[in-house]
Each structure stands twice: as C-alpha cells, then as structure tokens.
Structure 1
Amino acid sequence: FDYDLTPHTRHRDMTVARHRAFVYENRPKLEKALLAQIARAHAEKPIDIFFSYFYAADITAATLETIRDMGITTVNWYCNGSYQFNLVEEIAPAYSYCLVPEKFRLADYQRIGANPIYCQEAANPNVYMPHDLPYEFDVTFVGQKYGDRPVYIAHLRKQGIDVRVWGPRWQSEAHNLPLWRVAGSRVKRFLRGAEPLFPPRIPADICGPPLSDAELIKMYSRSRINLGFSNVADTTSGIKQVRLRDFEVPMSGGFYMVEYMEELAEFFEIGREIVCYADKQDLAAKIHYYLQHEDEREQIRQAGWRRATRDHSWQRRLSDSFAQMQLRDVTPSKPEIHA
C-alpha cells in the first residue's frame, strides 16, 4: 500500500478529542487511496488476501465490506489487544479473520461477532540470528521505560548486578531531567497506573538510546543475560503479555530471562530453553546463579535457539493460520536458517 501512514500512527485513540478530529478528517482520504489501489491491483491479477495491521482509526467496517465484496479475504493482525482491544472493537467483526496473539482475548473477539484465529508472536530467522561477538555486558534490557521496569532495574543495581538498559525514555526521563520538566507527564502516567509517581532514580551512565534493528540483534549476542518483562504498561491491570522479544532473543542466540507467565510454557521448556523469574528477588537470585554457571547458561542458550528457529518463525505461524482459513500456503516450505 503506497501511502504515508506515519501521521495516522500518532492518532489511534478515538476517545481523545484531537485524535478523533484527525481521524474524521483523514481516514476518508486513506480509505479512498486504499480502495483505488486495491481495485487497480485486483484488476491486473486477482488478490487472494488483504492483510493489514489496522485500528478503527484507520479504516471503517464499510470499507472492509467493500473489499470483501470484491471476493478478497480480509485479515487483520493486531497485537495490542491485551490493553487496547477497544481500538479495534469496531472493525474486527468486518474482517474475514482476525489474527490474535492474546489467548485470553479470543472470547472477546467472538463476543463481538468477529472470527479470531490464535496466532502468537514469532520472529524471522533470516533477520534474527546469532553473531559471533565477545560478551561485553553481564545483564541488559532493550526496550521502553515504563511500568515497574525501573523498579526492577533499581533492585538489580542494589544487589550489585551490572545491568545496562537501552530504549525510549531511559535517557531522557525524570532521573536525568529537572522535576518541573517531567512532572505533568509523570502524574498522568501515575494516574493511569503506568508507573509509580516517584520511580527510582536510574543512573544516567547505565542508560542508552534506542538501538537500530541491527544493533539490537547484535546486543543479544553481546550480553550474557538478556532480560524480558511480561507486564503491560498499566501495572494495576494484572495483565501479562507474550512479546516479540520472547522469540527474537532466543532466535538471535541470546540467553533469555523473562518474567513468568503461564502461556510462555506453551512455547518454551522453562528452565531448559529459557529461564523465568517470579519477582525482583527471584530475578536477582537467578542472575547471580547463571552468571556463575556458564556451562548451564550456554546449554540453555543453545536449546532456546534451536527451539525458536524450529518452531517460532513467522513462516510457521502464518502457515498454521492459512491452514485454519483453508487458504493456500504461499510461504516457502523451508525458510533459510543461519546458525
């Protein structure tokens, strides 16, 4: 689809007045361009599947019905349903199928008349692969600063663990800026349960900027232990979520230690392919253990890589989804894997 969606990505929530005004003005333009391009391409060669990652702010049910009336199967992939289901609730029933990675949301999709297929996150083995690099860091986390993540990082520091972080808001947030610069946004995040009102101070010298994709993948090989968190931003919700990182780190050959959630056990053998922790005390204890037991850590790292490359590629996920839709699998039967 040849269209600049960048402005639309900043106006997703129709409950926000300025977002709503943008959507009402610009969504019709997007839909007009989309229908024109689909009609032109469909006339040249029949389209089997229209595959999107759309919010209700991007498209209306009426436009989706128009696409389906052309004889095209419509599929929407959406992976923020754990805490933003309301942003697709209006359009989900208009799709032929909705690919849903949050198992607990399947009933909600069915309740509103949608046709969900459980399709968990995955990774691409042609992109996420091990790199032959020396270890530079004991423990790292790459991802956005929110929720209770700073609490965990601060606890590890108190336990004498050399942990480093990269990603949005770590460098530019409250611990590095005057309070008056961040007070407003901090209070807003506190009121919606996204983080403590006074999060712990994280030293600037352990914080780095967002990494490029290439830098991110190499970081997994540069770190003895790669951290993951399962909580969503609203820590009061109790919702935990399987994430892309859960597959990308092992597929990249990294040793992965992630916050436990039951669903992870469906994809990895915990303790043999990845390691899970229950709370910040358990996390610190397991970090100390695996830093001291290199051979065991290496066995788990290799087992995690084998499992991820064998079972958790996007080719595998989409093949299974197409089979449930009774659609022809157009992906290669054996994706190239780089050890």
Structure 2
Amino acid sequence: MRIFYASDTTPNSSFQSNLWRNNLYQPLVDLGHDVIEFQYELRETFQNLDISDPKQRSFISRNRPKVSKELLRQIKAAHKEKPVDLFFSYFYDACVMPEAIDEIKAMGIKTVNWYCNGSYQLHLVSDISPHYDWCLVPEKFRIKDYLKIGANPIYCQEAANPKIYKPYDLPVEFDVTFVGQAYGDRPAIIKHLLDNEINVRVWGWGWDKYSSEAKAKKDSLLHNLRGCTSRACKKLLKPTGWKVEGSENQIPAENKESAIALPASMLGGVLTDEQMVKMFSRSKINLGFSTCWGTDEIGNRVLQVRLRDFEIPMSCGFYMVEYMEELEEFFEIGKEIVCYTDKEDMVNKIKYYLKHDDEREKIRQAGYKRCLQDHTWHKRFEMAFHEMGMNNLVDLKITV
C-alpha cells in the first residue's frame, strides 16, 4: 500500500522526541508499505493548538491555510508519480483545513487520522475528524463522542515498537522509578511513597518545581512579597497567586500541591527516548499512572490506557500501574503486569515485590512475552487496516 504520512515527531512539541516517528511511521515502513512523509516543519504548528488563546488563535488563522496548501501540493505530486492509497496523519484542527481533507478524498485517496488525547481534548480535533474516512481512537469510552460529531471511529489501542522499546543489559540500579510529567496527583503520590520509606526516583518535565530547595526559595519570595506594602508589590498580587515581574512563571497561592516538597536528589529532568527505555531496564519496579486528567479532590478523574502500559513491558521492565478494567483486555493482571487500587495498596505491593525477586522476574518476563506477541504497532495497524478494508498489506515478520 502507498501511504502519505503526516505528523510531528512527538505529541508534545515541548520535548525533543521521536515518539510518533518511532511508533507510527516506522512500523508502517516495517510492514512493507511505500510510505511518503510530509516534508514540513510542524513543530511550531503543534505548539499552537488552542483557539481559546488569542495569541495561538491568531497564529492558527495564518498558519493553517499555509500547511494545508503545502500538504495538498505534496500529496498531488506524490499521487501523480504513483497513486496514493491512504493519507495517514496525526493532526489537530490547528494543522489542516477540513476542506483540504475533502480535497484529498476527492482524489480517490482514503484518509485516516490517529489521535490519542481525545479523553480530555476531543475539542482539538472536532472540526477535522468528521472529514476523515476514519479516525483511529485508543479511548474506547470516547467512541460514542466521535460518532456524535459525525466522525467514523475505529477503536485502535496504543502499543509499542519492539525495535525501539527493548531490554538493555544494564545493572539494576533503582528500586522504584517513574518517568513522566509532574501533574495532577502524581507529586502527592510520590511524596506518599517517600513518607513510607520507599526509595523512589522520578524523571520528567515539571518535577524540579517540587524540590525542597525550590520550595524554600519560593517561600522566601512569598514572604518578602507579602511583607511588602508598596504599590508595586500590591500590583503583583493575583487571584491565583503572585505574578513575578519579568517572568512567565506564576508563584502559586497556598494550596495542597504547593506544600509538597521532595528531595532534589530524587528528581531528574527530561530523558531522551533512549535514556527512558534504558531506565526501564535499570529499575526493579517501573511505576505508571492511569489518570490523564483531574484529581481525587475534585472528583472528576479520567482514567485511560496509556503508552507506558505497553512501552515498559515491551522493554522487559517490571510494570506496576493503577488498575482500570480496560487493562484486563491486554494483560493478565498479577501475572504479566501488577496493578494497585489506591496509595496504600501501591505501597504494600511495592514492598512485597521488592522482597520477592523471583516473582517479580516471572511477571517481568511474562509481560515482555505478551507485548511481543500481541501489542506491537504492527499488529494494531494490521487490525485497523483490515477493518478499514485496506487489505492489500505486505505480511512481514518483524524481527527484534
């Protein structure tokens, strides 16, 4: 099949990552398809997605037609050289005009969009989704919402590329680790582990602001600001906290999260793709969080299956994640991965598996075997293309 592929390299343009190129583009090539990649720098486009922000809305109104025009130019050229069967994208509304998708379809090219943030950001693709022939949707509970906006969804869960996510022969250096952003209830849970004498380390965006040193500096600044009675100081007071002149950072008002202080020695920065995968091999227990939005305190948590649920076992890492029913469709809980139900259950299971190396090793190996067998992107695409009726696939055995 001849496929025209369009996406940025990562869903989070703040990170230098090849996540989507590794997990979407490369498996399509591995399957033997003739894949033509959209030659366009999309980083700035993926940094401006929110039309509710006036600055981003202005950029989108200027940029969206430009991207669409160039997309059509390149697809027409590729189609003229040799007929294109499928346009495959990871696009937001901000990336392309709906009319451009319609024009691609008018050429006789089938269209499909992959998107994995529909759990809490469906509004960012609600304009373009109805114009694609299909939308690949990993959030099962959002299928009906895609139907409501006139789209044609196909349930296609996330996975991992075994050529990228693989075990490394490295010393096991850490008891418990988490790789990912600091948001929601994650900092509070990590603090709870520390309070229960669990040796945990974290890496990722945002953890530095929870360091005890950073908190001490912030407390000192807050103290000085609150003690200042000048007109200039009073102007810095905002309803949600203090805005420091000449800085984009807001000092939060007093709340539960701002009270969390973690030792700087346990906090790491953003890892490269390869560093992250190697960390899975360097850790006895790799943690995962199923919450993608909301907190317990406001009672609107949204749980979903995540990329990590496949990346870590595919890398032959022992994986422990918050239980959600959908996980049972992909793993045998307790035998291939381990799930916890709350913070106390998490603590108890961490302590248990740190003491039982043999059990941990059996689960680690079983999770790895299951992922290799069932949870590659290659398998996902084969199933999705079958449902789409795009059956002219090249059936290759993927070696890892």
TM-score by length of 1: 0.94
Shift of 1:43: 0.3
- Return the alpha-carbon distance in structure 1 between the equivalents of residues 161 and 253 of structure 2: 33
1:212 matches 2:272: yes
| Residue number in structure 2 paired with 1:322 | 385
1:202 matches 2:262: yes
Structure-to-structure mapping, 1:181-330, within 5 angstroms: 196-235=256-295, 236=298, 237-330=300-393
Task: Check 1:206–1:197 CA distance in 2 against 1; reply closer, same or farther (3 A cut).
Answer: closer
Shift of 1:78: 0.2
| Residue number in structure 1 paired with 2:232 | none
Structure 2 counterpart of 1:116, which letter? P
Per-residue CA deviation, residues 106-161 of structure 1 (Å, 9 max, x unaligned), is 00001111100000000001111111112100000000111100111101001111
Task: Check 1:112–1:90 CA distance in 2 against 1; reply closer, same or farther (3 A cut).
Answer: same
| Residue number in structure 1 paired with 2:29 | none
1:163 matches 2:226: no
- Return the alpha-carbon distance in structure 1 between the equivalents of residues 97 and 277 of structure 2: 37
| Residue number in structure 1 paired with 2:163 | 126
Task: Check 1:93–1:166 CA distance in 2 against 1; reply closer, same or farther (3 A cut).
Answer: same
- Return the alpha-carbon distance in structure 2 between the equivalents of residues 61 and 189 of structure 1: 42
- Return the alpha-carbon distance in structure 1 between the equivalents of residues 251 and 155 of structure 2: 36
| Residue number in structure 1 paired with 2:85 | 48
Shift of 1:198: 2.2
Classify the secondary structure of the residue corresponding to 2:94: coil
Structure 1 counterpart of 2:311, which letter? E
- Return the alpha-carbon distance in structure 2 between the equivalents of residues 95 and 22 of structure 1: 24
Per-residue CA deviation, residues 199-230 of structure 1 (Å, 9 max, x unaligned), is 51111110111111111111111100000001
Classify the secondary structure of the residue corresponding to 1:283: helix
Task: Check 1:111–1:62 CA distance in 2 against 1; reply closer, same or farther (3 A cut).
Answer: same
What stretches of structure 1 of length at least 5 have no aligned partner?
none
Classify the secondary structure of the residue corresponding to 2:390: coil
- Return the alpha-carbon distance in structure 1 between the equivalents of residues 253 and 159 of structure 2: 30
- Return the alpha-carbon distance in structure 1 between the equivalents of residues 392 and 171 of structure 2: 40
- Return the alpha-carbon distance in structure 2 between the equivalents of residues 334 and 133 of structure 1: 28
Across the two proteins, how many residue pairs are aligned to each other?
333
- Return the alpha-carbon distance in structure 2 between the equivalents of residues 288 and 90 of structure 1: 48
What stretches of structure 2 of length at least 5 have no aligned partner?
1-37, 223-240, 244-248
Per-residue CA deviation, residues 22-52 of structure 1 (Å, 9 max, x unaligned), is 0001111111111100110110011111111
| Residue number in structure 1 paired with 2:71 | 34
Per-residue CA deviation, residues 52-107 of structure 1 (Å, 9 max, x unaligned), is 11111111211110110011111000000000001111111000000000000000
1:143 matches 2:180: yes
Per-residue CA deviation, residues 176-200 of structure 1 (Å, 9 max, x unaligned), is 433259955667899xxxx954251
| Residue number in structure 1 paired with 2:5 | none
Task: Check 1:168–1:329 CA distance in 2 against 1; reply closer, same or farther (3 A cut).
Answer: farther
| Identity rate, percent | 53
Deviates more, 1:198-207 or 1:138-147: 198-207
Contact 2:167 2:278 in 1 (8 A): yes
Structure 2 counterpart of 1:318, which letter? F
- Return the alpha-carbon distance in structure 1 between the equivalents of residues 269 and 281 of structure 2: 18
- Return the alpha-carbon distance in structure 2 between the equivalents of residues 304 and 148 of structure 1: 27
Structure 1 counterpart of 2:283, which letter? S
Per-residue CA deviation, residues 271-329 of structure 1 (Å, 9 max, x unaligned), is 00000001111101000000011101110000000001100000000000000000025
Shift of 1:173: 4.8
Structure 2 counterpart of 1:309, which letter? L
| Residue number in structure 1 paired with 2:127 | 90
- Return the alpha-carbon distance in structure 2 between the equivalents of residues 2 and 147 of structure 1: 36
Structure 2 counterpart of 1:320, which letter? M
Structure 1 counterpart of 2:165, which letter? Y
1:153 matches 2:190: yes
Classify the secondary structure of the residue corresponding to 1:141: strand
Task: Check 1:66–1:330 CA distance in 2 against 1; reply closer, same or farther (3 A cut).
Answer: same
Structure 2 counterpart of 1:255, which letter? F
Deviates more, 1:177-186 or 1:76-85: 177-186
Contact 1:94 1:114 in 2 (8 A): yes
Q: Which has the larger radius of gyration?
A: 2
Structure 2 counterpart of 1:273, which letter? E
